[in-house]
Amino acid sequence: MTNEMVFSELTPVAFAERAAKVFPDRLAVVDGGLRYSYAELWQRVQALAGVLTEYVRPGDRVAVLAPNTHVLLEAHYGVPLAGAVLVALNTRLSPAETAYILDHSGASVVIVDADCREALTEALKHSTVRPTVIDSGGPRDEYESLVTGATAQATAVTDERSLLSINYTSGTTGRPKGVMYHHRGAYLQALAMAYHAKLDTSSRYLWTLPMFHTNGWCFPWAVTAAGAVHHCLRKVDPAQIWRAIHEDGVSHFCAAPTVLAMLAEDPAAAVPAPRPVQVFVGGAPPSPALLAKTDRLGIHTRHLYGLTETFGPAVVCEWQPEWHALSPQSRAPLVARQGIANIVAEPLRVVDARGADVPADASTLGEILLRGNNLMLGYYRDDEATAAAATADGWFRSGDLGVMHPDGYVELRDRAKDVIVSGGENITSVEVENALAEHPAVLDAAVVAMPHPKWGEVPVAYVTLRTDASIEEAELIAFVRERIARFKAPHRVIFGVLPKTSTGKIQKDLLRGRAVHPPLDRPRRR
């Protein structure tokens, strides 16, 4: 027997080839009025590869600037089939930020959606590279013309540990870093997502999570592996999401808690989902109050946790059958935990400052470390940052703080940098936020540190109120004090809209330093 018979390189691109053969006539993609099958997807992505090989050599980077369209989905197959490396660009960056990424990745080609064309033109004014631009959408759809006329191409993956894509971190602090994905990791992570989400041919996946974020947590490949439907969505709009749930039979999507909060608030929520919807929730822990609300709407959440560096969710809050018997109140804190290593991930560790595993006592705080096939190759063109990301004994440092529960589930307590150190005591912002979220008037809350002349730091809360709701600062502070230790309650509450990244994460860095503490001559009891 030849080695080729026994082993094939692990690559998520293979899922599209398999789907074309085993699900040829199944619906693959819905994008507005466009609908096509898995046989057509495979034909189209090979044609895209044919187009790209005119412009790129093996290993060259191909950037895409587009919302969640069929074009960005196709690029997840067509770019590697051309032997090139995918760089999916965040559509909400400033021109200067986009230019930085184009230059840093050295993109040879940019495929751009008509809605993003102006932003790209602006970005190219700031950039050094001069990529070939392929316009997609709009009246003159260059992408479509090229793909229609192209000769099919399919470059084989000869090393599963080679570079598949570069995902730039959102970069709330400092320059964005280019996280390098390999074929093997994306393949295994896609399998894990298909397994945990129980995707199959009856599933319809709604593209709420941006594909430019962590390659859409590998769902561009997982949904195809399962022969399910990719339901594209240009904009995270609650009314459109509800329409897709009510009318199009959507069964799965991924979202940050803020998206779920918007859904629960939307007038369309008056009619629950006609078929159970499974939502993978990431980006931030959903509050118990939110979980209770979505359950009633037929939207069943599973909490996940991961980083761009771990191909998205390395950790899933796997459901335990015994939880069915619990009251919603007892169950909520269990399902709001981050959970356990996913089925392909190595069990994660929570370690103290000396690198020793903390006890599984649900209270000793430590940093979360990860390792395994679902870890990045490193940061592109940044050996220093790559080296700094690992411990001396070879574990990736997440920078996140958590505790290990006795049942093996990890609970994130905070980003290391989000912990508020007040009078020598650690206050995790999440516990204060959860207490705020229990108030019926509160839609969204973020808690950050504010300098304090006596305590060093104290918590300050930024709060968005529900439509038509109102509450006074003092009343809300009193509400929190009834729920958690007094010294953890915010010293100030500032009402307004919270700044968010494209993926719905609250940008705490923008909030820090906005508030200053009132002078000490207005004493507060702790």
- Asked whether position 156 contacts its own copies by CB under 8 A, the answer is no
| Strand residue runs (E) in 390-501 | 396-404, 410-415, 420-422, 425-427, 442-452, 456-465, 492-495
Residue of the chain from 172, 386, 502, 507 that contacts its own copies (CB under 8 A): 386
- Asked whether position 23 contacts its own copies by CB under 8 A, the answer is yes
Residue of the chain from 73, 223, 341, 461 that contacts its own copies (CB under 8 A): 341
**CB 371, min distance to its own copies, A:** 5
- Asked whether position 317 contacts its own copies by CB under 8 A, the answer is no
- Asked whether position 396 contacts its own copies by CB under 8 A, the answer is yes
Of 114 and 377, the one with the shorter C-beta distance to its own copies is: 377
336 contacts 291 by C-beta, under 8 angstroms? yes
SS3 at position 363: coil
368 contacts 392 by C-beta, under 8 angstroms? no
- Asked whether position 274 contacts its own copies by CB under 8 A, the answer is no
- Asked whether position 176 contacts its own copies by CB under 8 A, the answer is no
User: Which segment (195-203, 415-423, 449-457, 468-476) binds its own copies by CB under 8 A?
Assistant: 195-203
Of 184 and 252, the one with the shorter C-beta distance to its own copies is: 184
- Asked whether position 36 contacts its own copies by CB under 8 A, the answer is no
- Asked whether position 153 contacts its own copies by CB under 8 A, the answer is no
- Asked whether position 357 contacts its own copies by CB under 8 A, the answer is no
Of 17 and 418, the one with the shorter C-beta distance to its own copies is: 17
Q: Give residues 404-433 in contact with its own copies (rule: CB under 8 A).
A: 406-409
- Asked whether position 318 contacts its own copies by CB under 8 A, the answer is yes
Phi, psi (degrees; rounded to nearest 5) at 17: -65, -45
User: Which segment (146-154, 388-396, 462-470, 477-485) binds its own copies by CB under 8 A?
Assistant: 388-396
Residue of the chain from 13, 16, 389, 432 that contacts its own copies (CB under 8 A): 389
Element (H or E) spanning 167, and its range?
A: strand 163-168
- Asked whether position 319 contacts its own copies by CB under 8 A, the answer is yes
Closest CA to 64 of 133, 142, 155, 144: 133
Of 16 and 89, the one with the shorter C-beta distance to its own copies is: 16
Residue of the chain from 14, 51, 211, 461 that contacts its own copies (CB under 8 A): 14
Residue of the chain from 221, 395, 455, 462 that contacts its own copies (CB under 8 A): 395
Tokens (6 digits) for 8: 């094939």
Residue of the chain from 30, 376, 443, 511 that contacts its own copies (CB under 8 A): 376
Of 94 and 320, the one with the shorter C-beta distance to its own copies is: 320
Residue of the chain from 33, 394, 424, 496 that contacts its own copies (CB under 8 A): 394
CA distance 371 to 376: 10
CA distance 87 to 67: 14
Residue matched to tokens 């490949």: 221
User: Which segment (23-31, 105-113, 127-135, 430-438) binds its own copies by CB under 8 A?
Assistant: 23-31
**CB 379, min distance to its own copies, A:** 9
194 contacts 18 by C-beta, under 8 angstroms? no
CA distance 504 to 236: 10
Rounded to whole angstroms, what are the CA distances from 422 to 180, 451, 455, 509?
38, 9, 5, 19
Of 80 and 137, the one with the shorter C-beta distance to its own copies is: 80
- Asked whether position 202 contacts its own copies by CB under 8 A, the answer is yes
- Asked whether position 352 contacts its own copies by CB under 8 A, the answer is no
494: how many CB neighbours lie within 10 A of its CB?
14
Of 51 and 317, the one with the shorter C-beta distance to its own copies is: 317
**CB 220, min distance to its own copies, A:** 16
Residue of the chain from 141, 346, 382, 473 that contacts its own copies (CB under 8 A): 346
CA distance 115 to 94: 15
Pairing of strands 396-404, 366-370: antiparallel
Residue of the chain from 83, 131, 378, 504 that contacts its own copies (CB under 8 A): 378
Q: How far, rounded to the nearest angstrom, does the alpha carbon of residue 92 sit from its chain's CA centroid?
A: 15
Closest CA to 428 of 391, 403, 396: 403
Residues in the chain: 526
Of 129 and 385, the one with the shorter C-beta distance to its own copies is: 385
DSSP secondary structure, 82-116, as one string: TT-EEEEEPTTS-HHHHHHHHHHHTEEEEEEEGGG
Residue matched to tokens 């969505």: 233
- Asked whether position 230 contacts its own copies by CB under 8 A, the answer is no
- Asked whether position 12 contacts its own copies by CB under 8 A, the answer is no
The three-state DSSP-derived secondary structure of 203-266 is CEEECCCCCCCHHHHCHHHHHHHHCCEEECECCCCHHHHHHHHHHHCCCEEEECHHHHHHHHHC
- Asked whether position 194 contacts its own copies by CB under 8 A, the answer is yes
**Which residues are near its own copies by CB under 8 A?**
1-2, 4-8, 10, 14, 17-18, 21-26, 161, 182, 184-185, 191, 194-195, 198, 200-202, 225-227, 318-321, 340-341, 343-347, 371-373, 375-378, 386-387, 389-390, 394-396, 406-409
